[in-house]
Amino acid sequence: MAWRLPPLAVLLLLVAAAVAPLSSAVRPVSEAHRSVAAELFAASPDDLETTYEAVRTFKILGVQRDKGLDGKACKLAADRLSSSSSPAKDLFHAVQIAGVLACSVDAGVYDDVASRLKAVIKDTNSLLEFYYSVGGLLSLKEQGHSVVLSDADSTFHAIKALSQSDGRWRYDTNSAESSTFAAGIALEALAGVVSLSDAEVDPSMIGVVKNDIVKLFGTIKSYDDGTFYFDEKYVDGSEYKGPITTSASVVRGVTSFANVVSGKLNVPGEKILGLAKFFLGIGLPGSGKDCFNQIESLSLLESNRIFVPLILSLPSKVLSLTSKDQLKVEVTTVFGSAAPPLRVNLVQVLGSDSKVITTDSKELQFDLDNNVHYLDITPLKIDVGKYSLVFEITLQDSEHETVYTTGGRNTESVVVTGLIKVDKAEIGISENDAGSAESVEKLDLLKDTKVSLSANHLQKLRLSFQLSTPLGRTFKPHQVFLKLKHESKVEHLFVVPGSARQFKIVLDFLGLVEKFYYLSGTYDLELSVGDASMENSFLRALGQLELDLPEAPEKAPRPPAQAVDPLAKFRPQKEIEHIFRVPEKRPPQEVSLAFTGLTLLPFIGFLIGLMRLGVNLKNFPSLPGPAAFASLFHAGIGAVLLLYVLFWVKLDLFTTLKFLSFLSVFLVFVGHRTLSHLSNTAAKQKTA
Amino acid sequence: MPKAAGDAKLLIQSLTKAYAATPTNLKIIDLYVVFAVATALVQVIYMGIVGSFPFNSFLSGVLSCIGTAVLGVCLRIQVNKDNKEFKDLPPERAFADFVLCNLVLHLVIMNFLG
């Protein structure tokens, strides 16, 4: 079996195989997020919402912004606050911007805004209006302005009235659609109402809402790797916002509600951890909106009252046996701050096919300086390949277990690489029938060798070698190819099959003559062995093979045309030889001239004949009038003939026809006059 | 043989005598037709010697002569007073037709000549 794979494709396969398991790495928020955020919000936005998202993201990430931009945002916010026609949504964002940037806003303006927002709360039955006005009032309060919501209980009831039995919310009393996104908004608004209230809100109502949150977490969706996220039940709704926005809304609502009520919410820690993994799993976001949602949600999860998620991550997922790499594990919060004292155990190692390699629990050492847990992998006796490592995290302080969530077991995949030993490499030619190798040469595949072999079509080429891992097991790499390259650049690629002990290929040239296109001559032998976990993957030139194949029969397939060097088209091109029509054979000029004279002979004969007949012009009209017409008639005919000659020499058909039409009208006129005159005279003579 | 030769001689003499009675204008037309055919023959011989290139020129040259001859024959038929069916047709009218046809023919010939 031979494949014709271009070398580039082989390389791509190798790279893809090496990178694929590493692409879904979960790492804490890093410097990369800061630069991405700076890039996404680089264009100074004009609308309030985007401006708020930008300033909030920068505040959380601690990115320093140009003072001028901050001033511009403050001015934008102040304009909206003092404008009497701004809707609640604009007021909300403007107050938030002012809060984040600590803009100086007149207390009178804030009084006015607060009374307008309170008026909105009284009148509305829309969830979004509630959310924006309560959120705006809350932000005013956080900025040190005294705001009190006097009828908190009724507002609480009005918002709660929109909730559904499954923990989701409706946008307003008229809408039939319920939404997870709306649930997050409602919870945040309720949290705001509780903190704005001057008196204690009815504890039984709080209990009902807590119950709603538990139900809401019942609708959470998950991936296989322990990632949890929220999404709408029906994605066809007009208000569909996607999982990132929806999850962020719920995180905002639940964490703020948990912060204002007493007691703990009954939400499983693994779901909080799964949400954190979901937001970290986004990696670097692609849009400003996603960036804001990701960063704000993570910052809320970083310090929430339910559970603070601790993320286990590997700085490097490739471990080399050669350099005796240590397995390093970091356990941090989502923003990368240090976790409380804890123990990390490696409890299980699974092979690439989920085969259990070892279940011995090993505790990782803790390096306090670098905040890294580490473990030597040599005593684990694991070989090269891909593995899933299962870690178990236990908090040392049992008090912390109500604050932090570690998710218990965490599975991470790693690639262990090492030097592969190449042994017992042999190449040789054997006779077809006997099978006894006659000329066997030992090869050292660690460096280029230059064997030189010769064979004919009745013989076989044998190549065998063994690959073993550092632990002495047989190693089967992804790709083992033998390439035969003819001097005319025709290539043949063979997959070298591997058995339990060794890799061995036997090329029987008798069956391959047709595949080789009967091309005798020198073939270069190349062996390539490659794998993602093989540190010494190689492409080795083995030497040359002088092949003597029989003559090609008539109908043998032709070797395919070789790919042209792409630079060849810039070289000087072959000169194009134009094929012109061979001129026709022409007679000598004398002959043609003689015949031109000859054609005149009949005319002379015609003239002589006329004279012999005694032709005269007596019938030509003698009266001046008719004579003039007769002369004009002849002149007209002569003119037409002259026109024909001109047509032949230089005029085109249209010009000719144009002149001819004038001439023919004239000719018809004078011809008619002349001929009718002649006819009349003839008739007169007859009658006379 | 001598008898046959004599017969032929007699035949030609009688034919010549009968032809002498033909009106002069018909004789002129006959002469014209012979002239045209002879010119065509010269061209055919030329083609036979040197080849038919350029063929369109040869064709137009020969067809010009043949067409002229045919038109001449037509004119002769119409002008001949013995032909009763053209009795009402004046010879001037026939000549006008002859001129018109010749002009049209030669326009085509010139176009084809190349």
pLDDT at A191 over 70: yes
Mean pLDDT of A229-235: 80
Which of A52, A123, A65, A126 lies closest to A94 in space, CA to CA?
Answer: A52
pLDDT bin (cut points 50, 70, 90) of residue A666 is very high
ipTM (interface pTM): 0.91
The answer to whether residue A650 scores a pLDDT higher than 80 is yes
CB contact under 8 Å between B54 and A584, yes or no, is yes
Tell me the per-residue pLDDT of A466-524, one tens digit each, with 9 for 90 and over.
Answer: 888 888 888 888 888 998 888 888 888 899 888 777 888 888 888 888 888 888 888 88
| Residues A361 and A432 grouped into a single domain | no
Residues A294 and A249 in one domain: yes
Domain assignment of residue A378, given as a range: 311-412
Residues A390 and A332 in one domain: yes
Q: Can you say whether the dihedral through the CA atoms of A628, A633, A637, A643 is positive or negative?
A: positive
- Domain finish residue from A309, A332, A354: A309
Residues A158 and A207 in one domain: yes
Domain assignment present for residue A589? The answer is no
Torsion of CA A335, A337, A343, A349, to 10 degrees: 40
Task: Among B50, B96, B111, select the one facing A675 at the smallest CB separation.
Answer: B96
Look at residue A590 and tell me if it is in a domain.
no
A156 and A304 in a single domain? The answer is yes
Q: Which residues of chain A lie closer than 8 angstroms to B36, CB-CB? A: 602
In chain B, residues with a C-beta closer than 8 Å to the C-beta of A675 are: 92-93, 95-96
**Which chain A residue has its CA at the smallest distance from B91's CA?**
A679
Give the pLDDT score at A22.
37
Q: Inter-axis angle of helices A107-123 and A88-101, to 10 degrees?
A: 140
Confidence (pLDDT) at A449: 77
Q: What is the DSSP letter of A176?
A: -
Greater confidence (A75 vs B33) lies with: B33
- Nearest CB among A595, A641, A679 relative to B42 is that of A595
Q: Are residues A295 and A178 in the same domain?
A: yes
- Distant-in-sequence, close-in-space partners of A142: CB < 8 Å, separation ≥ 6: A99
CB A388 within 8 A of CB A404: no
Q: What are phi and psi of A235, to 5 degrees?
A: -85, 0
CA proximity to A281, closest of A506, A497, A23, A473: A23
Closest CA–CA distance from residue A682 to any residue of chain B (Å):
10
Which candidate from B42, B54, B93 shows the least CB-CB separation from A599?
Answer: B42
Is residue A69 a part of any domain in this protein?
no
Integer distance in angstroms from the first to the last C-alpha of chain A? 118
Of A184-193, A212-221, A549-558, A583-592, which gets the smallest average pLDDT? A549-558
Tell me the CATH number at A517.
2.70.50
In a shared domain, residues A400 and A281: no
Whether pLDDT at A21 is above 60: no
Q: Are A289 and A384 in contact (CB under 8 A)?
A: no
Q: Count CB neighbours of A504 within 10 A.
A: 15
With an 8 Å Cβ cutoff, are A648 and B99 in contact? no
Q: Are A607 and A601 in contact (CB under 8 A)?
A: no
* Residue for token pair 């995949």: A413
The conformation of residue A403, written as its DSSP 8-state character, comes to T
> Sign of dihedral through CA atoms A564, A567, A571, A577?
positive
List the structure tokens of A91.
Answer: 């007021």
Among chain A residues, the shortest Cα distance to B61 is held by A599
Model pLDDT, residue A98: 86
Residues A301 and A336 in one domain: no
Q: What is the pLDDT of residues A91-100, one digit of tens each?
A: 888 888 888 8
- Any idea which of A575-579, A684-688, B84-88 has the lowest mean pLDDT? A684-688
pLDDT at A11 over 50: no
Q: Which residue of B lies nearest to A595 if distances are taken between CA atoms? A: B46
Residue A20: which pLDDT band, with cuts at 50, 70 and 90? very low
Q: How many residues does chain A have?
A: 688
Distance from CA of A580 to the nearest CA of B (A): 18
Q: In this complex, which of B27, B53, B113 lies closest to A613 when CB atoms are compared?
A: B27
Amino acid at A507: L
What DSSP line would sit under A260-319, residue for residue? HSSS-----HHHHHHHHHHHHHT-S-SSHHHHHHHHHHHHHHHT-SS-EE-EEE-S-SEE
Structural domains in chain A (count) = 4
CB < 8 Å to B43, chain A: 595, 599
Same-domain check for residues A653 and A544: no
- Please, which pLDDT band fits residue B30 given cuts at 50, 70 and 90? very high
**pLDDT at residue number A662:** 94
Q: What is the CATH number of the domain that holds A348?
A: 2.60.40
CB contact under 8 A, B106 and A644: yes
Contact A601 B103 (CB under 8 A): no
For chain B, helix (H) and strand (E) counts, in that order, are 4, 0
Q: Which residues of A touch B58 (CB under 8 A)?
A: none
Question: Average pLDDT in the A103-132 region?
Answer: 83
Percentage, residues of chain A above pLDDT 90: 9
Does residue A305 fall inside a structural domain?
A: yes
Residue pLDDT, tens place only, A375-423: 887 777 778 888 888 888 888 887 787 888 887 778 888 888 888 888 8
Q: Are residues A361 and A486 in the same domain?
A: no
Q: Rounded CA gap, A284 and A32, in Å?
A: 8
* A407 and A450 inside one domain: no
Confidence grade of residue A433 (pLDDT, cut at 50, 70, 90) = low
The two structure tokens encoding residue A674 = 């002349």
Can you tell me whether residue A544 is helix, strand or coil?
A: strand
- pLDDT by residue (tens digit) across A276-296? 889 888 888 888 888 889 898
Alpha carbon distance B42, B57 (integer Å): 14
pLDDT top residue among A14 and A182: A182
Last residue of a domain, one of A309, A341, A369: A309
Q: Which residue of A has its CA nearest to B105?
A: A644
Query: Is residue A530 situated within a structural domain?
Result: yes
Last residue of a domain, one of A552, A574, A598: A552
Are both A539 and A465 inside the same structural domain? yes
Q: Do A605 and B38 touch (CB under 8 A)?
A: yes
Amino acid at A256: S
| Residue A52 falls inside a structural domain | no
pLDDT higher than 50, residue A9: no
| A591/B49 CB distance under 8 A | yes
Option in A584, A610, A660 nearest B31 (CB): A610
Question: What is the average pLDDT across B14-19?
Answer: 91
Tell me which of A592, A599, A668 to substitute to probe the interface with B (most B C-beta atoms closer than 10 Å): A599
CB B38 to CB A601 under 8 A?
A: yes
- The C-alpha atoms of residue A344 and residue A374 are separated, in whole angstroms, by 9
Backbone angles phi, psi at A159, to 5 degrees: -70, -40
Residue A394 counted as domain residue: yes
Chain-chain contact of B53 with A653 (C-beta, under 8 angstroms): no
Question: Reduced to 3 states, what is the DSSP secondary structure of residue A226?
Answer: coil
What's the pLDDT score for residue A88? 83
pLDDT tens digits for range A47-84: 888 888 888 888 888 887 777 778 888 888 888 888 87
- Residue of B56, B53, B98, B42 whose CA lies nearest to B74: B98
Query: What pLDDT, on a 0 to 100 scale, did the predictor assign at position A389?
Result: 85
Q: Whole-angstrom Cα distance, residue A311 to residue A336? A: 9
A432, part of any domain: yes
Contact B28/A587, CB-based, under 8 Å? no
SS3 A224: coil
